[in-house]
Amino acid sequence: MAMYHGSVPPLEIYVKSPPLLVLLKILGFSEFIPKGLPVHIFLKIICALPGINCNNLIAALTGLNCCLDPSALDLFFAYEPLSTSTKNLVHLAQIVRSGVLAKYSSPQIYNLSNIPHDLPLFISYGGQDALSDVPDVETLLDYLKLHDSNKLNVQFIKDYAHVDFIMGLNAKDIVYNEVISFFNRQFN
């Protein structure tokens, strides 16, 4: 099951480069700190490569976001991005390189069609999202084709990229109100 078709150059370079992952482990990095010096050096190297435009790092990593409030970005960067374990990044690299959503460091593939068919699911995705891109979501939806139709709500927002769902000026009206309405229908 292919689950990653995104075209995020800095991220692709990282996940498709096993030596970088090995180096992180050898150097004892158990935590990936986006605001740390190693990441700063890594991004400087990546952004210097031909064809990589890091002038807008959010767009370079997540896709071209349509609806961000520029004044909210300062607040966002005061707290985000947060650290994650290096293991999470190794797992992401494993998924990208293999094209299969499997358990960490294991050949055990997750069978997404085993998700209970009566479990309420709300899936919202954007046409500009470079992390959860349209082919990946279509693959997921194919696994959910036998899901109870009244328990599955799929929302496609053509102009949205990854961060628009969190910080879009119109996210409350377009996304959040729909999520609340869906779950109110499920549990009332």
Q: Residue by residue, what is the 3-state secondary structure of the chain?
A: CCCCCCCCHHHHHHHCCHHHHHHHHHCCCCEECCCCHHHHHHHHHHHCCCCCCCCCHHHHHHCCCCCECHHHHHHHHHHCCCCEEHHHHHHHHHHHHHCCCECCCCCCECCHHHCCCCCCEEEEEECCCCCCCHHHHHHHHHHCCCCCHHHEEEEEECCCCCCHHHHECCHHHHHHHHHHHHHHHHHC
Domains of the chain with CATH codes: 9-187 (3.40.50.1820)
For residue 19, the model assigns a pLDDT of: 58
81-124 per-position pLDDT tens digit: 778 887 887 788 788 778 888 998 888 999 999 999 999 999 99
Q: Global pTM?
A: 0.78
Specify the pLDDT at position 87: 81
Per-residue model confidence as pLDDT tens digits over 20-46: 656 666 666 677 777 778 777 777 777
pLDDT at 92: 81
